[in-house]
Amino acid sequence: MQIAPSILSADFGHLARAVDAVEKAGADRIHIDVMDGLFVPNLSFGPQIVSVLRQETTLPLEVHLMVQHPEEWVKTFADAGADMLLVHLEATPHIHRALSLIKQTGMEPGVVINPGTSVDAIDMVLPIVKQVLVMTVDPGFGGQEFIPEMLEKTDELATIHDRDESLDFKIEIDGGVNPGTIKLAAKHGVDIAVAGSAVYDGGNPADNLHHLQKLAAEAE
Ligand SMILES: O=C(CO)[C@H](O)[C@H](O)COP(=O)(O)O
Ligand SMILES: [Fe+2]
């Protein structure tokens, strides 16, 4: 399982240092949470932060776009240097258009579903995406409690993926990943786990990341 540290819980005064620490510690990618205060009840950062971090790291940058009408922002984040753009089904009536636009820019398209959304709802776009992100908390904040029932959805996605050779997506979870929940996730088809507070909130980010990596590897 890959771990994607989320910089939402990092020290915003030293973001470059926070990314550097996890890059040296073997992070697979960096997860950047963009929030608009409308789709989710919080504001975070925008494309400038992606541009700045693009200069700081060679790791893939995946942008989790928690904004209304994400299709309007595709070019902006491609120009900023994002490698993957993850958009919520619930944020647009035009999810197919949004994902197709992302693909056209050369970024990898990913679709995200909230805890209240079922896997059935994304059936028609699975052939386009490279990632399906299952939210394991209601989006908007770091440090929330993992919702274990969401792993029924990762199991379902793993079954769909394994049944159809033409599909080519990774299964990712986001929210509440910690040393306890990562062991559970490893048994439910999860390829990538986002971890924010478990990496950056207390202790040493490199040690925290190594601990999560070790637990995930043992549980697989
Ligand atoms: O998308 C998010 C919040 O909406 C974050 O990626 C996520 O919550 C990470 O934080 P933590 O690991 O602390 O739960
Ligand atoms: Fe996220």
Residue 35's φ and ψ, nearest 5 degrees, are -125, 140
- Nearest atom of ligand 1 to the alpha carbon of 31: 6
Q: Given strand 192-195, what is the order of strands in its sheet?
A: 2-5, 192-195, 170-174, 131-135, 108-113, 84-88, 61-66, 30-35
Centre of ligand 2 from the C-alpha of residue 160, in Å: 24
CA 49 to each of CA 16, 34, 82, 159, 195: distance values in angstroms, whole numbers, following the listed order:
10, 10, 10, 36, 19
Best of 173, 174, 182, 212 for a ligand 1 pocket test (most atoms within 8 Å of beta carbon):
174
Pairwise CA distance, residues 166 & 161, whole Å: 9
Helix (H) or strand (E) holding 12: none
| Domains along the sequence of the chain with CATH | 2-218 (3.20.20.70)
The secondary structure of 179-214 as a DSSP string is: HHHHHHHTTTT-SEEEESHHHHSSS-HHHHHHHHHH
Centre of ligand 2 from the C-alpha of residue 64, in Å: 5
36 a known binding residue? no
Helix (H) or strand (E) holding 164: none
pTM here is 0.98
Ligand 1 touching residue 179 (CB < 6 A): no
Whose structure tokens read 């209304």? 68
Sequence-distant (6+) residues with CB within 8 A of 176 are 136, 137, 144, 145, 146, 147
Q: What is the DSSP letter of 75?
A: H
Predicted complex ipTM exceeds 0.90: yes
- Nearest atom of ligand 1 to the alpha carbon of 143: 13
Whose structure tokens read 């950062």? 45
pLDDT tens track, the chain, 220 positions: 999 999 999 999 999 999 999 999 999 999 999 999 999 999 999 999 999 999 999 999 999 999 999 999 999 999 999 999 999 999 999 999 999 999 999 999 999 999 999 999 999 999 999 999 999 999 999 999 999 999 999 999 999 999 999 999 999 999 999 999 999 999 999 999 999 999 999 999 999 999 999 999 999 8
Centre of ligand 1 from the C-alpha of residue 141, in Å: 6
